[in-house]
Amino acid sequence: MKETWRWFGPDDPVRLSHVRQAGASGVVTALHHLNDGRAWPVDEAARRKAEIEAAGLTWDVVESIIVHEDVKTRSGRYRELTDNYRQSIRAVAGAGVRTICYNFMAITDWTRTDLDAPMPHGGTALRFDIVDFCAYDVLVLKREGAESDHPPERVRAAERRLAAMSESELARLEQNLIGWVPAREFIFDRDSFRKALDGYRELSKEGLRANLLDFLKEIVPVAEECGVRLAIHPDDPAFPIFGLPRAVSLSEDARAIVEGVPSPANGLTLCTGSFGSNGANDLVGMARELAPHIHFAHLRNVTKEEDGSFHEAEHLGGDTDMVRVVAALMSEEWRRRESGRADWQIPMRPDHGHAIVDDIGKKVNPGYSCIGRLKGLAELRGITRTLETYGIPEDA
């Protein structure tokens, strides 16, 4: 597998020199300042490529070209914005990038209630606490219909939790849920978030999926023309939040996407952490079944709790059998290589990492500490090297 590393551009405290020291050879990045649906200029994509290559690395995956909310709802300027997206595909293809990771999550990107939850080893991790979320959704945001989306015992627990929160704790919870969204056009406050939710009030899961498939029908031909593979990222968490529809949460959703617009250019990002947040998903089974459609892998683990909460575990810890997932992906790589595909490698990155050692307390992009990801990459490399050397066991 091709070892890659997410880099948030020149302002990222984790520098390209650190990426090389971690042992990765590929970079996953974007033009993060172009986050409002405008087309990416060819010259800017070329400059970003040159910057990465000057550091001795390659730009392997774009993550992400933001899909504007008008496109998701098929409203407003969606035709213009879809055309911009096609132009952006051509721009990154011109820079030699052949994989684009994107998501179709309504309003939110990945969502956590706690960005630095203490772990037993002394470091911190990202966590989604369902009771904290309920407290904000029902009692603070006071979203219409929110109480019916949560069982009564959870609402009662949320009332007790909120009563015990200090003002600073509540402010931090709100900041984590709606006031911090990576690489977005703007940051919400409570009123603007409520208004954004109103835009999805009449859109069902089936409607959002239909809009996604319509969007793919409009951009996949350009991706085919340019030799680019599109890899949709799952919802995170992979279950409904804030009453919003979800289009990429379950294995059946992934199947519907690749079957709805059949093309080698239309595929998936296997994010084991995102899909793994929903106990209905069998990650090993998904990796095996959907392997021909997987163009990119985010490898991380989560530990789920009975009430629906979860935290991001160590890469080889948690609920997902990472060895068998990697074995399935490597089996697919070997199949592609034997079929004569030049692009047989699946780029993967250690997705997120704990804040450990002297990254604790440093200013980093949440989830994207250097040392935690370096540790995760080394552990994943141990799996791939072992399987390369000794082969994949029949029961894997």
**Per annotation, catalytic residue among 150, 233, 311, 315:** 233
Strands lying side by side in the sheet with 310-313: 114-118, 124-128, 310-313, 301-304
Note whether 49 and 62 are within 8 A (CB).
no
Q: What is the pLDDT of residues 203-262, one digit of tens each?
A: 999 999 999 999 999 999 999 999 999 999 999 999 999 999 999 999 999 999 999 999
Phi, psi of 9, deg, nearest 5? 90, -170
* 262, 268, 274, 277: CA torsion to nearest 10: 40
Question: Would you state the pLDDT for residue 395?
Answer: 76
> How many angstroms separate the CA atoms of 143 and 341, rounded?
50
Cβ contacts of 88 within 8 Å, gap of 6 or more: 39, 40, 65
Q: Within a 13 Å sphere around the CA of 158, how many CA atoms are in the beta-carbon half?
A: 24
352 is catalytic: yes
Q: Is the pTM of this model over 0.85?
A: yes
> How many angstroms separate the CA atoms of 30 and 361, rounded?
26
Phi, psi of 117, deg, nearest 5? -75, 130
Residue 16 DSSP class:
H
295 is catalytic: no
Question: Would you state the pLDDT for residue 182?
Answer: 56
351 is catalytic: yes
When computed from its CA atoms, the radius of gyration of the chain, rounded to whole angstroms, is: 20
Question: Would you state the pLDDT for residue 181?
Answer: 63
Question: Would you state the pLDDT for residue 180?
Answer: 72
> How many angstroms separate the CA atoms of 242 and 237, rounded?
12
Q: Indicate the helix (H) or strand (E) that contains 14.
A: none
298 is catalytic: yes
Residue 312 corresponds to which tokens in the numbers above?
């991001």
136 is catalytic: no
Residue 29 DSSP class:
E
**Per annotation, catalytic residue among 298, 311, 315, 354:** 298
Note whether 64 and 92 are within 8 A (CB).
no
Nearest to 293, CA basis, from 235, 236, 205, 231: 231
Question: Would you state the pLDDT for residue 186?
Answer: 65
Listed as ranges, residues in the chain with pLDDT below 50 are none
Instruction: Kindly list the structural domains of the chain, giving each domain's residue range(s) and its CATH number in brackets, ordered by start.
Output: 2-111+199-390 (3.20.20.150), 117-197 (no CATH)
> How many angstroms separate the CA atoms of 141 and 194, rounded?
8
> For residue 375, what are the CA distances in angstroms to 78, 270, 351?
42, 20, 11
**Per annotation, catalytic residue among 150, 293, 352, 354:** 352
